Amino acid sequence: MGSRHNYWRQIFIAITSVAACFIYFDAIGPSWQYFDTYYWSRPANISDHSLYVNYARYQSISELAIADNNFGVSWFFLSIADPYDEIQLFIVNIAFMLIAFYFYCKICLAFSMGASAYWAWLLNAFILYFALLINKDMATIAVILAVSWFALQRRFGIIILMIPFVFVLRQQLFLFLAFLLFLELPVLGGKYKSKVAVVLVAGSVAGIIALQTFQFMALESLGEGLTGQITAFFLDEAWLAPLGVPLRILLYIYDYASSIVPFYKGQIDAIKALRIPSIIFFVAITPSFIRALRDTGRRTDFEHYRPLFSVAIAFVSALLINPQINARYLTCLVPLLILLVLIVIHKPMYQRSLRKLPIRPNGLAANRLGR
């Protein structure tokens, strides 16, 4: 009976998510209404959408450059949908959203999470924004959650097979998967904490080197105020880039948390407003999360959900490659972070579900989680 209730709960949450996305889509109206109104600023990402459409329309596949991060997603969307048919684009994004939710539920099931973990999916209100037009973000969320599941399953072959798709979608995601494999592949050995430090530093240094080498981004686009000054400093002093890792991570967190005040030039910024439910969740749950981390028992407890930490760390490392600080990039990781926080806090339930599993020498369950 419990599994039946769980099944119908998942169906209801999926339908609710799709319905909410459609209501937002219908309320915003066609693309000509996406521009700023008196009250709302940027209710949809029309600027990036226009860029992607123009990329695919006026550039050929032979012009794809190694540092070009726009052509791939443009080519992908225009291969399967009419860029001027917003319903088709909406359907593509909803398909990615349902894939993301599918793997989200599989992870919940693997850790015997309660109903609250499933309902927590609805905190990701920003999926309403990502359901519109051509964008990389909804597909990126699906990739992160799918990779999280396959990492838990130790199915690294599938993760490797995903590399061509993720490279086309967002070139930084190639390094995201590379960092994850470096952290999790048993054959590579090494201490976990040391490998975490390596990937974080590698991401930060690679971003500075790429910007200096390819000059793919104007300095004016690195950010405003203190954020832009800090990024420009590490660009000038590339040898200090490793020292900037904690600071840049804090800047990402600050940029995301600042969405709690969702105004832009006197108007409501839609994407900032849609982040507020997740921000409130993180603020409310942080004390419990810190206590849970502090009270972590045997190392085997951490080893079971370590792949989820590795996914988060690998993605943050890939973010550091981009010299620009933008909360939108971090937003793609939030669904996994919400679930990871709940898993760590509800560790006793998690331990009960896995305590009888035989443990390999490296602390991982001998059989695959959730099968």
315/178 Cα distance (integer angstroms): 10
The helix (run of H) or strand (run of E) holding residue 167 is: helix 163-169
pLDDT digits (tens, 9 = 90+) for 334-359: 999 999 999 888 864 444 444 443 33
User: What pLDDT was estimated at residue 79?
Assistant: 82
Q: Is 170 in a helix, a strand, or coil? A: coil
pLDDT single digits (tens) 167-208: 888 878 888 999 999 999 877 777 888 898 888 888 877 766
309-339: pLDDT as tens digits: 999 999 999 888 777 778 888 999 999 999 9
φ, ψ at 269 (rounded to 5°): -85, 115
Q: Is the pLDDT of residue 297 over 60?
A: no
Let me know if residue 310 belongs to a domain.
Answer: yes
pTM confidence score = 0.85
pLDDT at 44: 85
Q: Is residue 69 part of a domain?
A: yes
359 lies in a domain?
Answer: no
For residue 267, the surrounding DSSP H or E stretch is strand 267-269
**d(Cα 99, Cα 80) in Å, to the nearest integer?**
17
Nearest CA to 162 among 91, 153, 150, 286? 150
Question: Residue 268 — φ and ψ, nearest 5°?
Answer: -80, 120
In sequence order, which residues have a C-beta less than 8 Å from that of residue 83 and are 6 or more positions away?
Answer: 49, 52, 53, 56, 77, 89, 134
Q: How many domains does the chain have?
A: 1
Domain span at 238: 2-354
Q: pLDDT tens-digit profile of 121-140?
A: 999 999 999 999 889 999 99
Q: Are 123 and 338 in contact (CB under 8 A)?
A: yes
Give, in degrees to the nearest 5, the angle at Cα 135 between 130 and 136.
Answer: 100
Residue 120 lies in a domain: yes
Residue 368 resides in a domain: no
pLDDT at 109 over 80: yes
Are the C-beta atoms of residues 259 and 279 closer than 8 Å to each other? yes
Strand 267-269 and strand 263-264: the pairing is: antiparallel
| Burial class, 268, CB count within 10 angstroms (exposed 0-12 / middle 13-18 / buried 19+) | middle
Euclidean distance between CA atoms 316 and 179, whole angstroms: 10
Residue 160 lies in a domain: yes
The 8 Å CB, 24+ separation contacts for 89-95 are 89/132, 89/133, 89/134, 90/21, 90/22, 90/25, 90/131, 90/132, 93/21, 93/130, 93/131, 93/132, 93/135, 93/138, 93/139, 94/18, 94/21, 94/131
261 phi and psi, to 5 degrees?
-105, 90
